[in-house]
Chain A
Amino acid sequence: MSQPGLWETLRGIIWRDLLLAIRRRSDVAISVLFLVIVASLFPLGVGPEPAVLRTIAAGVLWVAALLACLLSLGRVFTADYLDGVLEQMLLIAQPLPVLVAGKVFAHWVVSGLPVVLLSPLLGLQFGLEGEALGMLVLSLLLGTPTLSMIGSIGAALVLGVRGSGLLVALLVLPLYVPVLIFGAGAVTSSMAGIGGEANLSLLGACLVVSVFFAPWATASALRIALE
């Protein structure tokens, strides 16, 4: 029997994670519902004035997306860690960072993509329209993969540690700051008429850097957790 190649292995890992997510749909539903509820709480707290809501829309929606991503980070590795699959994954004769990237991609499809797809609806709730709404979707599309990438480092570091849910928030949220700034900045500056392209470029740069470095850091964190 010949060894499966890198692409086959990668495809297998992504497909397996997606299949698992489809079998446990309620997990995905919870983080999406969480996003909607958090976003809906802000108008109740701040007040229903459309002008105020439009000003805070970008920041609130981005922070809500950030928290939803954080909430789902525990799912990237924990189940595989508990049933021993992760240990087997470390033994596969393919570079671990690539396999990690596959798992993170699957995580993004399950937790990031629904946020992106849902964002126009939430944007309408906050009175965003036209170009700003498109910019919100675009910035989330570019930004949420970075969130998953950076988040996977934290998820791997706290694997099996007590109180890991809160600890991962403390580790990861400071690292999310640039993405939050550029993402919300893209929407705000397109509303101000400056155009959000500069921010989108920076978001793209963040994505490239994180795709390059994060799987590597995550892989070494996984090796530390499982040695």
Chain B
Amino acid sequence: MNWSKYSAPLAFYPLAGRMIPWFGTVAALAIAVGLYIGLLVAPTDFQQGEAYRIIFVHVPAAWMSMFLYVVMAVWAAVGLGLNARLSFMMTQAIAPTGAMFTFLALLTGAMWGKPTWGAWWVWDARLTSELILLFQYAGVMLLRTSIDDQRRADRASGVCALVGVVNIPIIYFSVQWWNTLHQGASVSMTAAPKMATIMLTGMLLMTFGFWMYSLAVILSRARCVILERESLQLWSKPSSVPEVAGVR
């Protein structure tokens, strides 16, 4: 089977359309089961009480936020290296979902911090680098929307994403070091007692669900981007995308 034909946006469009329902369904199931385990089955934590249950959303969201940034940067590198239009469309489609997960991680972190640490916001290394990650997502997205020329917007925001991915580890370590230098880590996730298997199961299920959700949402956003950008081609031969031809 020749996979490379799907690098053409108009060939990718129907393929993405067929995949979205599957990913969506799996995402809904995994998140439902994961939430059931996390909120009802998993035992109450003897130190943190019920408040700890927010980690079933928080930790997967934080993982996805970093993972999606790397995926976005990889697509940007592919786009810059191979000059492939679809790669840049994927970069554009991933950024909002990544930013959403970053925001979700910050929000749930604050909600967990208030009862546990007694403060909505602590200048913890993880929190701070997550906040900077949000700024970087914002920078990539705003750079794209500020440039009118499509090709330049794609390539410039691609370079921006790549520069950011080099910086993320440096920022993380510098922030961690800065924090420990001043006050010592007050609360550390790694030093917490080993997690019960049922909690880990719930968290992994949620991560899997978020992953599938991201795929579904990113693919449907990529379809919108394709429709927007390829409107001229679609106009000339509407038969290339059956769904669009049907609508018209």
Which A residues are within 8 Å of any B CB, using their own CB?
A: 153, 157-158, 161-164, 167, 170-171, 173-175, 177-178, 181-182, 185, 189, 202, 206, 209, 213, 217, 220-221, 224-225, 227
On whether the beta carbons of B159 and A224 are closer than 8 Å, the reply is yes
Q: Which residue of B is nearest A153, CB measured? A: B163
Q: B160 interface residue, CB < 8 Å from A?
A: yes
Q: Mask for B104-138, Cβ within 8 A of A = 1, else 0?
A: 00000000000000000000000000001001101
Q: A181-B174, A213-B166 are in contact. Are A174 and B159 (CB under 8 A)?
A: no
Q: Mask for B161-182, Cβ within 8 A of A = 1, else 0?
A: 0111011001100110110010
On whether the beta carbons of B138 and A177 are closer than 8 Å, the reply is no
On whether the beta carbons of A221 and B132 are closer than 8 Å, the reply is no
B175 cross-chain contacts in A, Cβ below 8 A:
177, 181
Q: A182-B174, A185-B181 are in contact. Are A174 and B139 (CB under 8 A)?
A: yes
Q: Which residue of A is nearest B132, CB measured? A: A174
On whether the beta carbons of A163 and B160 are closer than 8 Å, the reply is no
Q: B221 interface residue, CB < 8 Å from A?
A: no
> Which one of A158, A181, A220 has the greatest number of beta carbons of chain B within 10 Å?
A181
Besides A174-B171, A181-B177, 13 other A-B contacts (C-beta < 8 A)? A153-B159, A157-B143, A161-B146, A162-B146, A164-B146, A167-B143, A170-B135, A173-B135, A174-B132, A174-B135, A174-B167, A224-B155, A225-B156
B135 cross-chain contacts in A, Cβ below 8 A:
170, 173-174
Q: Which residue of B is nearest A157, CB measured? A: B156
On whether the beta carbons of B152 and A170 are closer than 8 Å, the reply is no
Q: B147 interface residue, CB < 8 Å from A?
A: yes
Q: Which of B155, B162, B174, B181 interacts with A177 by CB under 8 Å?
A: B174
Q: B142 interface residue, CB < 8 Å from A?
A: yes
Q: Which residue of A is nearest B166, CB measured? A: A213
Q: Please list the 4 inter-chain residue pairs (A to B) with the smallest Cβ-Cβ separation, ordered nearest first.
A: A178-B174, A174-B135, A224-B155, A181-B178
- How far, in angstroms, from A217 to B158 measured CA to CA in the complex? 11
B151 cross-chain contacts in A, Cβ below 8 A:
227
On whether the beta carbons of B146 and A167 are closer than 8 Å, the reply is yes
Q: A189-B181, A225-B152 are in contact. Are A178 and B170 (CB under 8 A)?
A: yes
On whether the beta carbons of A171 and B146 are closer than 8 Å, the reply is no
Q: A181-B178, A185-B178 are in contact. Are A170 and B147 (CB under 8 A)?
A: no
Q: Which residue of A is nearest B151, CB measured? A: A227
On whether the beta carbons of A161 and B160 are closer than 8 Å, the reply is no
- How far, in angstroms, from A153 to B163 measured CA to CA in the complex? 9
On whether the beta carbons of A174 and B136 are closer than 8 Å, the reply is yes
B181 cross-chain contacts in A, Cβ below 8 A:
185, 189
* A-B contacts, 18 listed (Cβ < 8 Å): A153-B163, A157-B143, A157-B159, A157-B160, A158-B143, A164-B146, A170-B139, A174-B171, A175-B164, A175-B167, A178-B167, A178-B170, A181-B174, A181-B175, A185-B178, A189-B181, A202-B174, A225-B152
- How far, in angstroms, from A37 to B80 measured CA to CA in the complex? 43
B138 cross-chain contacts in A, Cβ below 8 A:
170
- How far, in angstroms, from A221 to B163 measured CA to CA in the complex? 11
Q: Which residue of A is nearest B146, CB measured? A: A161
On whether the beta carbons of B159 and A171 are closer than 8 Å, the reply is no
> Which one of A153, A164, A171 has the greatest number of beta carbons of chain B within 10 Å?
A171
**How many whole Å from A166's CB to the nearest CB in chain B?**
9
